[in-house]
Amino acid sequence: MSGNEWETDDYDDNHGFVYEYGASVVELLDPQPGERILDLGCGTGHLTKEIAARGADVLGIDASAEMIETASEEHSDLDFRQADARTVEPDGEFDAVFSNAALHWIPEADHDAVLAMVEEALAPEGRFVAELGGTGNIQQIATTTIDELAQRGYDATQPWYFPSIGEYTPRIEEYGMEVSRAILFDRPTELDDGARGLENWLGMFGDSIFEGVPEHDQRAVIEAVEDRLKDDLFDAETSTWTADYRRLRFVAERSDGL
């Protein structure tokens, strides 16, 4: 997965919108009492907890040891495991696989491994319900940051995978699932912490873009990005940054025998 070092306190305190918005993906999942559910990329476990609160038996996995440590401390009654979605071997069958805001961290070429794992994990008629950044997600933030880095001689590339419906749903269907719903939508997302919102966001999520860039150049890039984006993404009256999120959300079911 694209490397990011996770400060889990900062993640929970200042980026709570990640799981707050994810609550509606849990609604779409509609977990039922007694169902066995795999939460892929569970982070600090807030949505794992919501799924468990519906009476489901849920396993949260995340590639980040820091995330799993925090999730296990905060929700000690739940089951979490550090595991990479590309290589984990699912133990037994799951009624559903769920994922919120995690799949875009996995490089495009590795999604076949993930989808093969989901197919293997799902019971017959099991469902895969997920949301990730979709095509055009955080386009202004990412392209402006990469451009400012390039102007200073750094060769940064976009580390995330933000597919379109037309690109991703056939990939899912190659792995024994039928996509019954898919939607791509703009979801402008207000960032926490007022005028520092964009800087914090880049600090939390931009590790791989800024890898190898000295602190003073990072500072200069962030200031330049803020300057270029403030007309579009900053509301001076409320002192709020809004990130240009776009989401791809889908529901697919195992389609054996179709």
Q: How much of the chain is helix, strand and coil, in % rounded to 5?
A: 45, 25, 35
Mapping DSSP to helix (H, G, I), strand (E, B) and coil, where does residue 47 land?
helix
**Per-residue binding letters, 148-177, with ligand BEZ (x by CB under 6 A):** ------------x-----------------
Residues 6+ apart with CB under 8 A from 170: none
Write out the H or E segment, with its range, that includes residue 28: helix 17-29
Scanning residues 106 to 145, which ones bind ligand BEZ (CB under 6 A)?
Answer: 133, 137-138
Q: List b or e across 89-118, with b for residues whose CB sees 16 or more CB atoms inside 10 angstroms.
A: ebeeebbbbbbbbbbbbbeeeebeebbebb
Residue 64 binds to ligand BEZ (criterion: CB under 6 A): no
Which residue number is nearest to ligand BEZ in terms of Cβ? 133
Report the residue number, 101 or 184, with the smaller CB distance to ligand BEZ: 101
Q: 245 phi and psi, to 5 degrees?
A: -75, 145
Residue 101 binds to ligand BEZ (criterion: CB under 6 A): yes
Residue 254 binds to ligand BEZ (criterion: CB under 6 A): no
Write out the H or E segment, with its range, that includes residue 226: helix 215-233
CB of 212 to ligand BEZ, least distance (A): 19
Report the residue number, 126 or 133, with the smaller CB distance to ligand BEZ: 133
Report the residue number, 80 or 201, with the smaller CB distance to ligand BEZ: 201
Report the residue number, 133 or 163, with the smaller CB distance to ligand BEZ: 133
